[in-house]
Amino acid sequence: MLTEYTTPGSIEVRSNETLYSLLTQRIERTGEDTVIATRKTGPGRWEQITTGEFHRMVLAAAKGFIAFGIRKGDAVSIFSPTRWEWGVLDFALAAIGAVNVPIYDTDSAPQAERIINDSTVKLAIADNRERYDRLDSVIDNCPTLQRILMLDGNALGALEGLGVAVSDEELEARIASVGADDLATIVYTSGSTGTPKGAELTHRNFLSIVRAGFACLPEVIWDDHPRLLLFLPLAHCFARFIEYCSIGSDDGVVGFLPDTKSLLPDLRSFKPTYLLGVPRVFEKVYNAASRKAGMGFKGRVFLKAAESARAWSRMQQAGIRPTPKQVAEHLGYEASVYRTVRGALGPNIRYVACGGAPLNADLAHFYCGIGLPMIQGYGLTETAAPFTVCRVDDNVIGTVGQPAPGCSARISEEGELQLKGANVFRGYHNLPDKTAEVFTEDGWFRTGDLGSIDDEGRITITGRKKDIIITAGGKNVSPIPMEHTMMDCPIVEHAVVVGDGRPFIAALVTLDPEGLAAWLPAQGLPADLPLAEAAKLPAVRDLVQEYVDKANASVSRAESVRKFTILDTQFSQDNGCLTPSLKVVRPKVNTVFADVIAHEIYGGR
């Protein structure tokens, strides 16, 4: 095993290039072709927008920003789910050197307020009235925020109207003043203490990894008329990266999908050639196929086909040639099962790319076994999304592939994965001490993740030093603030948030014997009621629920505790869940109470 690896090659980014250059260079190469599609009212109907039309809207919005008073380096927030206008605003801000500070559409008003104030946002754009009101409720607490616009209230039209007073010469001068090393965006990511940190990413950071994507995955994102249906939030670097790849290619088309309420019909009508998703998306597709097969004969056939697909993939990975019987079985399942599952993702689907959270190897083998290669990668907000990726011709399941050309990875003496490359961010906004903590003296970025590197440079993630929980949907959740709020409950001793790789956030709660002894008599119950009996009382659960609700009030729904279990025992040094200084040992809690987590909370999933 290696301790350090650098991928051969290099990626060129000229000093005068920006994210806006991806659009203009495409137009120079291929003219005004279709670049994006947006779903009209009802599934199955799409409006096509050409690069020329998109470019004209970008320039109109850019003029509007200038007229509003947005200068180079000023921050503007977009508070919206994924929709085509997001792309217009993003490219317009990039063109004039403004800084895009996205806010997740699920963020609460207090979360949005903190982001706006930390990055001194001057203008915010929400998509609809509900999110507009969320921002409006805190505008008095945001001294730099001058105005809120609403996309559903014709924000693009308002910007275009403002921009009429701005000359083409003034716009061109602003565009020419922006370079690759200027700040493009500040993306806020949860830290181990629960306080969000703004990762500062330059145009060069994104351009280098986008062009690395072209070099590493041409079959997926460049060749043969690629089509991407994008439904991941553009506030996340992962989605922005792949949007830039699509728009920056020769003839890629990206469809913007604000929600997934009609995902399957939309997939059939849009006909993507590849999809980008988090593990939960592909789990849902698999589970839907399994449920559709049912419990009878068809269900038994599906289960056998799924197991056969996983075995087929493992044989391919090991270089084992299948027997004639296995080939015949595979062809049979192709006709009866595999073609239907692939078809659920659209008739032209060729690849699926998965990231944002750890992926179950069995699920990856299933998709590869049915003839749909699942490409895995690894990255962080601090690396502008992907840093490593499995190549189509070297897709080793269980690894996250090799670094991009010219980028390096190493394993420290403590087993931590550390990275160096042109896509690594320049630091955390307003947090020089936190920035210093994540960089070594010789300039390597400390990921906080544990890993290994094989002899071919492929990286395997083996664990995480951080306490951050990543759900199956790819949401990063800092558990500590919520745990502290729940532990404010007078009868709660400990609360441990769980949900790593799971579909939702949950919690394990232990009761405080002394707090119970003081509280139970007021409920007409004996103070010495055994802990196991107290844990089952509806009144106990109701009181704990009040504090769970308080914890949830300060976070988005995706981060909220959906379910909790009150344990009939306590954490202790004897069971390994507490240190001698009485700190909770999170990994040990997950191990000791694995059955409770798996069955009582997640129903065996």
**Mean pLDDT on 499-523:** 90
In this prediction, residue 191 carries a pLDDT of: 41
Mean of all residue pLDDT scores within the chain: 92
pLDDT in tens, 199-235: 999 999 999 999 999 999 999 999 999 999 999 899 9
Which band of pLDDT confidence, cut at 50, 70 and 90, is reported for residue 193? Answer: very low
Q: What angle do CA 256, 388, 237 make, to 5 degrees?
A: 35
Domain boundaries, the chain: 18-178+225-272, 479-601
In this prediction, residue 473 carries a pLDDT of: 83
Check if the beta carbon of residue 15 is closer than 8 Å to that of residue 411.
Answer: no
Task: Identify the sign of the CA torsion 23, 27, 32, 33.
Answer: negative
In this prediction, residue 581 carries a pLDDT of: 47
Domains 18-178+225-272 and 479-601 share a fold: no
pLDDT for 143 beyond 80:
yes
CATH of the domain spanning 18-178+225-272? 3.40.50.12780
Please measure the distance between the N-terminal and C-terminal CA atoms of the chain and give it in whole angstroms: 34
In this prediction, residue 418 carries a pLDDT of: 98
pLDDT above 70 coverage of the chain, percent? 96
Instruction: Name the token pair of 17.
Output: 């290039």
Do the strands 197-202 and 183-189 form a parallel or antiparallel pair, or are they unpaired? antiparallel
How many whole angstroms separate alpha carbon 534 and alpha carbon 522? 14
pLDDT for 52 beyond 90:
yes
Check if the beta carbon of residue 563 is closer than 8 Å to that of residue 504.
Answer: yes
In this prediction, residue 192 carries a pLDDT of: 34
Which residues are CB-contacts of 486 (< 8 A; sequence separation ≥ 6)?
Answer: 492, 495, 507, 509, 544, 547, 548, 550, 551, 561
Question: By mean pLDDT, which of 79-83, 214-218, 400-404, 572-576 is the weakest?
Answer: 572-576
Domain topology for 479-601: GMP Synthetase; Chain A, domain 3 (3.30.300)
Which band of pLDDT confidence, cut at 50, 70 and 90, is reported for residue 496? Answer: very high
pLDDT in tens, 577-598: 886 446 688 888 989 999 999 9
pLDDT above 90 coverage of the chain, percent? 74
**Mean pLDDT on 541-546:** 95
pTM of the model: 0.81
Contacts of residues 595-603 at CB distance under 8 Å and 24 or more positions apart, as own/partner, are 596/508, 596/565, 596/567, 597/498, 597/506, 597/508, 600/565, 601/498, 601/506, 601/563, 601/565, 602/502, 602/503, 602/506
**Mean pLDDT on 18-23:** 98
How many whole angstroms separate alpha carbon 518 and alpha carbon 285? 50
Residue closest to 230 by CA, chosen among 289, 278, 187, 279: 278
In this prediction, residue 604 carries a pLDDT of: 63
**Which amino acid makes up residue 247?**
I
pLDDT for 465 beyond 90:
no
pLDDT in tens, 324-380: 999 999 999 999 999 999 998 999 999 999 877 677 788 899 999 999 999 999 999
pLDDT for 599 beyond 70:
yes
